[in-house]
């Protein structure tokens, strides 16, 4: 065994291995030593807790949860907490590493963290869910805090869960610790604009990329796959900023009108009937067809791995703004790059949520009140500047590689610089 081979319990996890492979590829590109990779591939701290919930019928249920604190060179750890029956320690570590890169790329004063409880929350009553949330947060309370580690929602956690976290932490610490979690309900220091922010950012980077690569955003045609939180706001703001959204879809299928869809109407139809396919006056198309439409901009905002080796050659869009996490496989990424398609990677395109969390957190700490307009205008400025910074550096230093590679190189390099300045490496 070489001196570098640690055998941490999460090493065999496939998601973790994927994150490490990505890190090694970037390390080669920017010339990081094996020793530094070894430092970066492990979290600074991985906390595992046992949470016992007394169920409504009197039985006891035991759950395992984690908080992975990957890197704090750039600031307090920041990242969501998810409730999922497939969560593992390895996946949580991988997600926390990705948060380090995402926060670094977004230029935020945060390191990366992520938490999870291995549970199917749909099987719990509201009271059981509250008990689970309070006990999990109490178990990690000494390890989190407004200056230490600031969680937020992720899969199957929401502003209500954040309110329970906030309350539990405030009881333990003896003061109202507004800044300990973000994406709180607005009445408890959250921002209404948080709901909009990821989709807003996804549309914003598509808008800025169109200005750079297509000569403008006006009348550019857009197709959006997935009409949930991210996709519906990405479609709404694309339309508001002058583009023509010609297709949208959800899990039941898609709709297409080359003259442009009325997005406000599509949102109404989705909320009243459960699916956009009930929108009248547009052609019905499949989710596969949507990806291959002759549009200028494609926004995948549903699930991962939808643009693959088998369909990437048929994608006609000139710009792809990744709303979903991981919608493009590595093989497809290469095909698209060779075709000259600009893929704005998820780590850059969908950072609007965490950027809005930073706006919420910094205002909580100053005791300030912010209107939605002010919050969105700050988000717009932050993400616009950030997009152009990354785009410029891609053009200057890494143009022979996809933008995703450039984004990771910039993100990892920034963390390494901070670690060097602190004397860690």
Give the binding site for ligand NAD (CB under 6 A): 198, 225-231, 249-251, 287, 301-303, 323-325, 350, 353
Q: Write the secondary structure of 74-122 as one string of H (helix), E (strand) and C (coil).
A: CCCEEEEEEEECCCCHHHHHHHHHHHHHHHHHCCCCCCEEEEEEECCHH
Q: Which of 78, 102, 114, 184 is catalytic?
A: 114
Map tokens 């000259």 to a residue: 340
Residues 6+ apart with CB under 8 A from 336: 307, 312, 315, 320, 328, 343, 402
According to DSSP, residue 307 is labeled B
Kind and range of the H or E run holding 263: helix 263-273
Q: What are 81's strand-pairing partners? A: 115, 153
272 has catalytic annotation: no
Token pair recorded at residue 55: 């169920």
Question: In angstroms, what is the minimal distance from the CB of 369 to ligand NAD?
Answer: 23
Q: What are phi and psi of 59, to 5 degrees?
A: -75, 165
Residues 6+ apart with CB under 8 A from 287: 225, 249, 253, 254, 302, 306
Q: How far apart are CA 407 and CA 421, in angstroms?
A: 21
Q: Which region holds residue 146: left if phi is over 0, alpha if psi is between -120 and 50, else beta? A: alpha
Q: How far apart are CA 181 and CA 135, in angstroms?
A: 16
Q: What are phi and psi of 305, to 5 degrees?
A: 55, 40
Q: Please identify every residue annotated as catalytic.
A: 114
């Amino acid at each position: 065994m070489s001196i570098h081979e640690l055998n941490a319990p999460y090493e065999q996890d496939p998601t973790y291995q994927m994150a490490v492979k990505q890190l090694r590829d970037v390390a080669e590109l920017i010339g990081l030593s094996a020793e530094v990779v070894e430092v970066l591939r492990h979290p600074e701290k991985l906390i595992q807790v046992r949470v016992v919930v007394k169920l409504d019928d009197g039985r006891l249920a035991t759950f395992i949860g984690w908080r992975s604190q990957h890197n704090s060179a750039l600031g307090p750890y920041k990242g969501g907490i998810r409730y999922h029956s497939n969560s593992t320690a390895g996946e949580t570590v991988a997600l926390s590493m990705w948060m380090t890169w995402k926060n670094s790329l977004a230029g935020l004063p945060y390191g990366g963290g992520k938490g999870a409880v291995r549970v199917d929350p749909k099987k719990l009553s509201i009271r059981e869910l509250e008990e689970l949330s309070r006990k999990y947060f109490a178990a990690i309370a000494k390890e989190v805090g407004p200056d230490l580690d600031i969680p937020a929602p992720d899969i199957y956690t929401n502003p209500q869960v954040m309110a329970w976290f906030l309350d539990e932490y405030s009881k333990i610490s003896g003061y109202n610790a507004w800044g300990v979690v973000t994406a709180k309900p607005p009445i408890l220091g959250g921002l209404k604009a948080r709901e909009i922010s990821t989709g807003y950012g996804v549309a914003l980077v598509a808008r800025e990329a169109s200005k750079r690569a297509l000569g403008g955003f006006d009348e550019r045609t857009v197709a959006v796959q997935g009409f949930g939180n991210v996709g519906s706001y990405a479609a709404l703001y694309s339309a508001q900023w002058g583009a023509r959204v010609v297709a949208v879809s959800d899990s039941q299928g898609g709709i297409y009108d080359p003259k442009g869809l009325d997005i406000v109407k599509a949102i109404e139809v989705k909320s009243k009937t459960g699916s956009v396919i009930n929108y009248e006056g547009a052609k019905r198309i499949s989710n596969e067809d949507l990806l291959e439409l002759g549009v200028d901009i494609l926004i995948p905002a549903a699930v991962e791995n939808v643009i693959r080796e088998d369909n990437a050659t048929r994608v006609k869009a000139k710009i792809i703004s990744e709303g979903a996490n991981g919608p493009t496989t590595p093989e497809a990424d290469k095909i698209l790059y060779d075709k000259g398609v600009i893929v704005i990677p998820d780590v850059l395109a969908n950072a609007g949520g965490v950027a809005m969390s930073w706006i919420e957190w910094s205002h909580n700490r100053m005791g300030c009140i912010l209107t939605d307009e002010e919050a969105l205008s700050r988000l717009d400025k932050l993400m616009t500047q950030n997009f152009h910074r990354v785009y410029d550096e891609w053009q200057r230093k890494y143009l022979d590689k996809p933008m995703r590679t450039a984004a990771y190189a910039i993100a990892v390099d920034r963390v390494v610089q901070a670690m060097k300045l602190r004397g860690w490496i």
